[in-house]
Every structure is written in structure tokens, then in C-alpha cells.
Amino acid sequence: EVQLLESGGGLVPPGGSLRLSCASSRFTFNTFAMSWVRQAPGKGLEWVSSISGFGGTISYSDSVRGRFTISRDNSKNTLYLQMNSLRADDTAVYFCAQGRVGLTFPFDSWGQGTLVSVSS
């Protein structure tokens, strides 16, 4: 069973930037698509972004397109989310998630989440 461990969350002022990381224990990391999903306090789940195994296919939700950038370093078994121009409504727990074998969706493994708070 894969272990996913997010890091990089914290408190940032509006307009600021933050980079999240997600380290995978899976040896064959590059064969799995990865995604970020967020959950605002007390709210439901929102898909944010996905990236294919070798990074050739990337997609974003409308709410983050142009501000967030997903990437991965397969040599380090690590997924990233660069978040720029942060707004108060970006405040959420951010989960990284792994797709089923050969697929982007659905997500059969999740990290424990990292909290991003955007506030002055």
C-alpha cells in the first residue's frame, strides 16, 4: 500500500505564494497519475489539478487555472503544487491523491492533507 505524505502548508497573506509537496513511497511512482484535491473548512471536496505519470497531460479546475502549477519529479517520487496569487477562498486542507493503475480517476490512495490558510 502506497504512503503519500504532504508538506508545505501554512499561513500566507493574500497575494502570497506557497509550494506544496507530496512524497510517495511507491517505487513505480512514474506509472501513476497524481492529483490535488482540496477541502475548505467544513465544506466538501473540490478537485484542483491532475498530472499524468510522466507529466505530459495536465489539467486544472477553473478556480485555480493561471494561478496554480502542478508538477512532479519522478526521480524524487514527489508531486508539487505551486500556488501563486493566493486568495482567502484558497484556504483549505490540500490532499494529494493517486489514480488507479493507468488511470487519472478515481483516487484510490490519499495523503493525510496539509492545511493552507490565507489571511492577513
Q: Which residues sit at the interface with another protein, rule CB under 8 A?
A: 35, 37, 44-47, 50, 59, 61-62, 95, 100, 104-108, 110-113
Q: Which is nearer to another protein, 24 or 50 (CB)?
A: 50
How buried is residue 106: exposed, middle or buried, by Cβ count under 10 Å (0-12/13-18/19+)? exposed
Q: Which is nearer to another protein, 16 or 52 (CB)?
A: 52
Minimum distance from CB of 98 to another protein (Å)? 10
Instruction: Tell me if 4 sits within 8 A of 99, measured CB to CB.
Output: no
Q: How far is residue 70 from each of residues 5, 8, 41, 58, measured CA to CA in Å?
A: 16, 14, 23, 8
Minimum distance from CB of 49 to another protein (Å)? 9
Minimum distance from CB of 72 to another protein (Å)? 17
Q: Which is nearer to another protein, 30 or 63 (CB)?
A: 63
Instruction: Tell me if 71 sits within 8 A of 53, measured CB to CB.
Output: no
Q: Which is nearer to another protein, 19 or 43 (CB)?
A: 43
Minimum distance from CB of 20 to another protein (Å)? 15
Phi, psi of 44 (to 5 degrees): -85, -175
- Cα separation of 116 and 94, whole Å? 7
